[in-house]
Structure 1
């Protein structure tokens, strides 16, 4: 049956691609990317009566990029209300030390902003407020295609803010939106990779030049293009150029990362688009490098200690609620030799009530009767690891251990300290998990306004060009958790609606 399905899928893709030359000349909107952002744009444009196509690098059975594999957490209290700290968290992570002469102008009407401010690389508060305001009606819109959103009771071992999720995760979003798009008469071209933007002599968008297997060049003509092809975590050259040579130690959180080559960002920068977002950083999440599954996140480290290849601690394992601190801890892991650390636990961890949330790998822990034996199995210096555990144990103090909330059970006189969940590791057998930093998506992307229009270096909208999802730059420093899928859906829908309206201009 699987073989038959694959044959039918291959047949369908072949049929689509052989028709490219016949059908690629008269679209109203071309969307690059088939994740939640791209499909939201495609459906919105098709609903408005536009002739729309989607270009997807992946084959049909792997369509959807990162969205396909994500749980699609949404930073909302319910389908009608975002979390209390939504805009506040974005504001706290909006860029570097912004020029104070520009900060004062943010209170003015964006239409009066100077070109410098419009093109400035920072998190535009108007874009964030649009995201917060449009989130509820966007989820209601998606609900109309059969997707149900439910509360996520225990998203992390400890959480400071609530989350909701689509039942069925990101794949449910992809399936529902793709079905609706095809129902509206839209076309998805699989195994089709965008390469460059086509513009006229005045710089207006005229379409996309792409490559269809086997390296056959095709031009898809349209007055509007929506770039929704993700970030560049699947491009080793861009990762090294922007994130640095240590990016070799990062692994994609899902197979969908491999399809995100950064061409959407590159082709827009090539025609003068303004960058936005932290190009040297990314959304980091702790993972088990041995795992074969998508999303093998490891949040158990607050209940033990983290050591590097030298057998030494290097970070506060329990600085606060897991959902708001795991990224900083993970970045510290990625900075260690070979980008790896080991979470050391004892038998008490078996009784954690939230163990299923804390350990998401299918691989077993490395176990041993003694710390010295555990060190040998991990390839760590036994004398150093024994000294590290002994120093940690001596710094622990009696108190009430609460695995479901920050408990203030901190070490005393230990460097670096551990601020919560500090219990001695003295009850065998002992166990350990290797942990590395995964890359979920990159932060650097394109500057857009609240209409999802891509801006040029002069702060003006590039006629006919839009961006959504991770192609749209927005994040700096610390990721505002559970907003990436939401951002893709909201601005994808905005982009598609605005893009198709250009038919009449």
Structure 2
């Protein structure tokens, strides 16, 4: 009799969730994490912990979120499963797999409740998803309202504690390079030193290929080797390639990814476990973004940040030098996220005039002055600026700014240098709705499962913020429930 029933490869949110589900069935589970204990957690460690779930408002969330004295002053709009479904269809332009989507939107809420019952802690995300209004109240926005206590670091700490309590064996520093097969069945994994581990089932939860610059260039296109890796350096796609070698089918969109605006010039701006998600720059809907020519090139106010931030990294990558600057004036500066815009060593330049700011960031003075002047002069000032709703306060320039247009006219002015930070790749393995890996002809590869970023088909070009962690939980639980 084998000593191991289920091998989970990858110690992030999806892998741990699969391990919990398998352990709950009495399976003997070994979780293999490539990183050492101080490098562990996959991409999940680097997140803010934001988790998208349907709910009926604050009272509906109270049973599984931490109490906060601000709750009595907070409005949390309901967010239905239909809202979630429509958001996925909208941001992926209809390229989301409908079967996977249906499972995600219907099981998101019960899966989070289940994890909370195990000891994974959640809270309302005041600092990221609400604005403090003049009367001291808070209005949440964008369909994304809860997150983990302690962010990604807290998420992994909770998962690890729960797994140990369940009897899951966690082995760190385990670099898995291949799958072991017996005929058409997967029966284990092979480690970098040539050693093997055998089990009845293997769950691939080792992420995508975003940490491998050669695979990025081959799959995402020219220039993607220049992107900064936001999260773990260990998601190099080896297990995806291993599965393809034994006949697994590709799932989803291998040509696009989750990419954000990322601090361009701060030292150690890749895989930084101290600053993690604080290197993102996500208050851009309030200001404008210009390239090295001093020109705007996208609609900063096209939608709430939750629906645009994961696709705007690639827009930055396409600009000259793969660099741009987010611009704000003194009026807007206090509204920026403190955790991201007040971090140590941040890439920022300030000046009393737009012309002086242009000199400091190395863009043509006349071009930047013209861009800002044209923008300021085109704003429909008859509409009240309100960042908690899509206010329709438009700047009628090219490209337009559809919402939250506020003139940059009060010095000092601020410019934050940003580049493209890659989070995870959208393509993965093709699976059924329980994470069982399929071949091209639709037959299942016995003994092989995938979840998290290794599962393809949910996202393309973009995704609704917070749905990556949710998908990892939902399909991790499903894989662990049958592995």
Task: State the alpha-carbon separation in 2 of the partners of residues 395 and 217 from structure 1.
Answer: 64
The residue correspondences of 1:318-467 to structure 2 (distance < 5 A) are: 318-352=301-335, 355-356=337-338, 359=341, 361-362=343-344, 363=346, 365-399=348-382, 400-412=384-396, 414-467=397-450
Kindly provide the CA deviation profile for residues 151-196 of structure 1, in whole angstroms up to 9, marking residues without a partner as x. Answer: 2245347833132112222333322332232333332221111111
**More divergent stretch after superposition (45-54 vs 222-231):** 45-54
Matched, 1:177 2:187: no
**More divergent stretch after superposition (264-273 vs 243-252):** 243-252
In structure 2, the residue matched to 1:210 is: 191
State whether residues 298 and 361 of structure 1, in contact with CA within 8 Å, keep that contact through their aligned partners in structure 2: no
Matched, 1:493 2:477: yes
Task: State the alpha-carbon separation in 1 of the partners of residues 450 and 407 from structure 2.
Answer: 50
**More divergent stretch after superposition (227-236 vs 376-385):** 376-385
Matched, 1:226 2:226: no
In structure 1, the residue matched to 2:257 is: 282
State whether residues 156 and 357 of structure 1, in contact with CA within 8 Å, keep that contact through their aligned partners in structure 2: no
The residue correspondences of 1:23-42 to structure 2 (distance < 5 A) are: 26-42=3-19
Unaligned 5+ segments in structure 2 are: 65-78, 132-140, 270-274
State whether residues 278 and 475 of structure 1, in contact with CA within 8 Å, keep that contact through their aligned partners in structure 2: yes
RMSD of the TM alignment (CA)? Answer: 2.3
In structure 1, the residue matched to 2:83 is: 85
Unaligned 5+ segments in structure 1 are: 1-22, 97-121, 500-505
What SS is found at the alignment partner of 2:175? strand
Task: State the alpha-carbon separation in 2 of the partners of residues 235 and 305 from structure 1.
Answer: 32
Larger radius of gyration: 1
State whether residues 299 and 359 of structure 1, in contact with CA within 8 Å, keep that contact through their aligned partners in structure 2: no
**More divergent stretch after superposition (430-439 vs 403-412):** 403-412
**Count, aligned residues:** 442
Task: State the alpha-carbon separation in 2 of the partners of residues 476 and 274 from structure 1.
Answer: 17
Q: TM-score, normalised by structure 2?
A: 0.85
Task: State the alpha-carbon separation in 2 of the partners of residues 251 and 207 from structure 1.
Answer: 33
Task: State the alpha-carbon separation in 1 of the partners of residues 258 and 43 from structure 2.
Answer: 13
Residues 309 and 157 (structure 1), Cα distance of their counterparts in 2 relative to 1, 3 Å cut:
farther
The residue correspondences of 1:81-160 to structure 2 (distance < 5 A) are: 83-92=81-90, 123-153=96-126, 155-156=128-129, 159-160=141-142
Q: Shift in Å at residue 263 of structure 1?
A: 1.5
Task: State the alpha-carbon separation in 2 of the partners of residues 497 and 441 from structure 1.
Answer: 25
In structure 2, the residue matched to 1:64 is: 41
**More divergent stretch after superposition (432-441 vs 179-188):** 179-188
What SS is found at the alignment partner of 1:466? strand
Kindly provide the CA deviation profile for residues 438-490 of structure 1, in whole angstroms up to 9, marking residues without a partner as x. Answer: 11111010111111101111111111110000001121122132111111112
Q: TM-score, normalised by structure 1?
A: 0.82
Matched, 1:482 2:466: yes
Task: State the alpha-carbon separation in 2 of the partners of residues 73 and 29 from structure 1.
Answer: 28
Q: Shift in Å at residue 146 of structure 1?
A: 2.0
What SS is found at the alignment partner of 1:347? coil
Task: State the alpha-carbon separation in 2 of the partners of residues 273 and 200 from structure 1.
Answer: 15
Residue number among 295, 303, 317 corresponding to 1:312 in the alignment:
295
State whether residues 75 and 482 of structure 1, in contact with CA within 8 Å, keep that contact through their aligned partners in structure 2: yes
In structure 2, the residue matched to 1:107 is: none
State whether residues 279 and 443 of structure 1, in contact with CA within 8 Å, keep that contact through their aligned partners in structure 2: yes
What SS is found at the alignment partner of 2:260? strand
In structure 1, the residue matched to 2:50 is: 73
Kindly provide the CA deviation profile for residues 234-277 of structure 1, in whole angstroms up to 9, marking residues without a partner as x. Answer: 111111111122113311223x2x11111121111111111112
State whether residues 263 and 347 of structure 2, in contact with CA within 8 Å, keep that contact through their aligned partners in structure 1: no
State whether residues 129 and 144 of structure 2, in contact with CA within 8 Å, keep that contact through their aligned partners in structure 1: no
State whether residues 207 and 453 of structure 2, in contact with CA within 8 Å, keep that contact through their aligned partners in structure 1: yes
Task: State the alpha-carbon separation in 2 of the partners of residues 360 and 269 from structure 1.
Answer: 44
